[in-house]
Structure 1
Amino acid sequence: MRASERAISDINRELADLARRNGDAENELRVLGSAAAQLEAAIDEQQIAFGKLLAQRYRQGHAPLLRLLLSGEDPNRVARQLHYYGYIARAQAGLLEELRSNLERQQDLESKAAQARADLAKIERSRVTHKQQLEKEHLTRRQALALISKEVDAQRREIGDLQRDEARLAELLERIEKIIASRPKAPPPRRDQERGQRPPRHEIDAFGQFKGKLNLPVQGELAHRFGSPRPGGGTVWKGLFIQADSGQGVQAIAPGRVVFADWLRGFGNLMIVDHGENYMSLYGNNETLYKQVGEAVARGERLAAVGNSGGNTSSGLYFEMRHRGKPFDPMGWLNSK
């Protein structure tokens, strides 16, 4: 099940990227189509103008200049006629050059449009392949769930399993805290800051300022609260379980940096975000993880998609907040409005 749930997360991420590329290609094709339509209209106008010039030259005969010079008419009138014929000739040459240039541009646009259509077809083939792979992984996962459903139900009644899951998470958080603590400390304030100047933004965005202002990371039904008994008794919930539809977006509660994004037994596809000052937020049971370790995230940015990984029978998000590795009730930090 671990491999299939990881694969589902990876395929969904690739499908999201394909959707973005498909949108870019469709937009490019629309732009090319609009440019081609404008160019075709310009070519039509040039062809009509060029046809009129040719018709006028034909009516004048094959040697209008010679007849004019030998006509014996008034020299001033002859000079005006010669100037007019020169203008016609230059206009004809100009139109011909513009028509040739526009026809070349039309051929180039048709070539680019053909390439854009080929790219769209390639993206669609890739999307179909990924969809088939996703359905296959979902089937594999459903089969795995069917095989272990009785075992999972029995395990959830046993206090020992829950305690082991929590112990694994505690060990993971301890390792993460040691890694964070080993990082170089921030440099001391500069002289201009010591003189009272405003420090950089990231130095004043302390996590404590968000108390009472946070939003839940996903909209849904609050099925289990912090401190309520877990099934089977003997242990309590260390966070919140929010029932939500599979695929619904999970958002970061505050700015931070991803320090863990992987599968963990009991928590499925789990993401942990470090907010500084020894505060962390945890998002478990996801179907898809969109961020990777080391990536900075903004408040409200999409981190993952709701799922039921980790053996859950219903879809939803398991959400914890911790300070110095200890869980605390997130409800006291949420916006009451």
Structure 2
Amino acid sequence: MMRTLLLALCCLACNAFAADQTDLEKLRQRILALQHDFDKSAESKSDAADALRDSERAISDRNRALARLEQQQQAGRQVLQRLQRKGDQARENVRLQQSRLGKLLYRQYLSRTEEDYLKLLLGDDDPNRLARNLHYLGYIARERGHALRAQQDALSALKQATRETEAQQAELDELRTAERAELTQLKREQANHQQTLRRISLQLKQQRREIGRLQRNEARLSRLLQELSGALPETGGDAFRRDKGHLPLPVDGKVSNQFGSRRPDSTLSWTGWFIRARDRQPVQTIAAGRVVYADWLRGFGNLLIVDHGQGYMSLYGNNQTLYKQVGDTLRTGELIAAVGNSGGNEDSGLYFELRYKGQPLNPTSWIKHP
């Protein structure tokens, strides 16, 4: 009965996993189709910010790869430390067993030679003394056998620890080589990005103030959110609502605008916060959830969107690096991105929004911040 129940539970878990993977793949396909529509639009061919797209995507991908390599190296270093401790213990064990074996051999040498042993068997007339001596010599022989086997085991353990340590060290060397290659490529991407910025700087300044372009950016984001909402089940969300007013600020910085206030040189209003912060500063998710979008979007740069359930979403834009990808599950406060000014922004910082069923929410009512 119990076995049948366990098999049934396993089948249910496998089916749920397969269904989740299928839903995730459908979500990815919808996002790709939407991105294709955005990219082939007439505006895309003339938008200065789009000239940054490839380099900013590449920089984000490269930094994410470097972060993953660093995590692997950190895990590898921890394994190496454990193996080194194991090797130290094995060497100490070898030393102890050698000392023990040496003492036993010395005791046997002091007691009797093999010739004495034969004399003991053939010439001792006292049966009690003979019994004691035989017992003593037998004890020493058994101990010597145990000590020899222990010595062999200790040497084998030391050899195994040495092999494992050498293999782990070789793996770390490979990771360091890969990291150096990624860093070299990252420097190239950053140099290309700076050249692109210099080439289109004047055009970017003009386009930042175009009301029509800002409206199209907002419409593009709204359409993306509508597509995401239609593809996601409305589950969870209770914990997110309960934490209203106590959610953490996603990055350590200063909010430079008020929700609903007018944007500079524009008739449009802010639907989120721009939080000024240093370049590459860590960005953390405000609550548990799942990543439903992680890509470059015109007007928002490298953008990450987290679904918190029941229509609640948080948006993190203008990042230099996105560390997470679509489908990743997140804990509250987990590192998800690094601050930047992607998407043609003049200032370094994080663009942050809260949405409920696609509609903007005032972060002031939800976020606890100084």
Q: How large is the RMSD of aligned CA atoms in angstroms?
A: 2.3
d(CA) in 2 for partners of 1:106, 1:232: 72
The equivalent of 2:171 in structure 1 is 119
Q: Under a length normalisation based on structure 1, what TM-score does the superposition of the two structures give?
A: 0.86
Which stretch of structure 1 is more off in the superposition, 59-68 or 313-322?
59-68
Deviation of 1:108 (Å): 0.9
The equivalent of 2:12 in structure 1 is none
d(CA) in 2 for partners of 1:152, 1:300: 34
Give 1:73-112 correspondences, 5 Å limit. Answer: 73-112=125-164
Deviation of 1:206 (Å): 6.1
Alignment CA distance shift 1:208-1:75 (3 Å):
closer
d(CA) in 2 for partners of 1:85, 1:207: 77
Indicate conservation of the 8 Å contact 1:156/1:232, yes or no.
no
The equivalent of 1:54 in structure 2 is 105
Structure 1 runs of 4+ aligned residues shifted over 6 Å read: none
The equivalent of 2:260 in structure 1 is 227
Indicate conservation of the 8 Å contact 2:60/2:320, yes or no.
yes
Indicate conservation of the 8 Å contact 2:249/2:369, yes or no.
no
d(CA) in 1 for partners of 2:364, 2:169: 51
Deviations 1:148-184 (Å, cap 9, x if unpaired)?
A: 112111211322222222222222223223334xx5x
Give 1:85-234 correspondences, 5 Å limit. Answer: 85-180=137-232, 202=236, 205=238, 207-234=240-267
SS of 1:224's equivalent in the other structure is: coil
d(CA) in 1 for partners of 2:352, 2:360: 10
Identical aligned residues as a percent? 47
The equivalent of 1:278 in structure 2 is 311
Indicate conservation of the 8 Å contact 1:212/1:336, yes or no.
no
Q: Give 1:26's match in structure 2, choosing from 77, 80, 93.
A: 77
d(CA) in 2 for partners of 1:175, 1:5: 24
d(CA) in 1 for partners of 2:264, 2:304: 24
Indicate conservation of the 8 Å contact 1:207/1:277, yes or no.
no
SS of 2:170's equivalent in the other structure is: helix
SS of 1:225's equivalent in the other structure is: coil
Query: Which runs of 5 or more structure 2 residues have no equivalent in the other structure?
Result: 1-51
The equivalent of 1:264 in structure 2 is 297
Is 2:365 the counterpart of 1:313? no
Deviation of 1:318 (Å): 0.6
Is 2:77 the counterpart of 1:13? no
Structure with more of its chain in helix, by fraction: 2
Which stretch of structure 1 is more off in the superposition, 98-107 or 30-39?
30-39
Q: Under a length normalisation based on structure 2, what TM-score does the superposition of the two structures give?
A: 0.79
The equivalent of 1:326 in structure 2 is 359
- State the AA in 1 paired with 2:208: R
Indicate conservation of the 8 Å contact 2:59/2:320, yes or no.
yes
Deviation of 1:109 (Å): 0.9
Q: Give 1:44's match in structure 2, choosing from 95, 98, 101.
A: 95
Deviation of 1:269 (Å): 0.7
Across the two proteins, how many residue pairs are aligned to each other?
318
d(CA) in 2 for partners of 1:239, 1:228: 10
Q: Give 2:325's match in structure 1, choosing from 292, 296, 315.
A: 292
Deviations 1:21-49 (Å, cap 9, x if unpaired)?
A: 21222112211222222222222222223
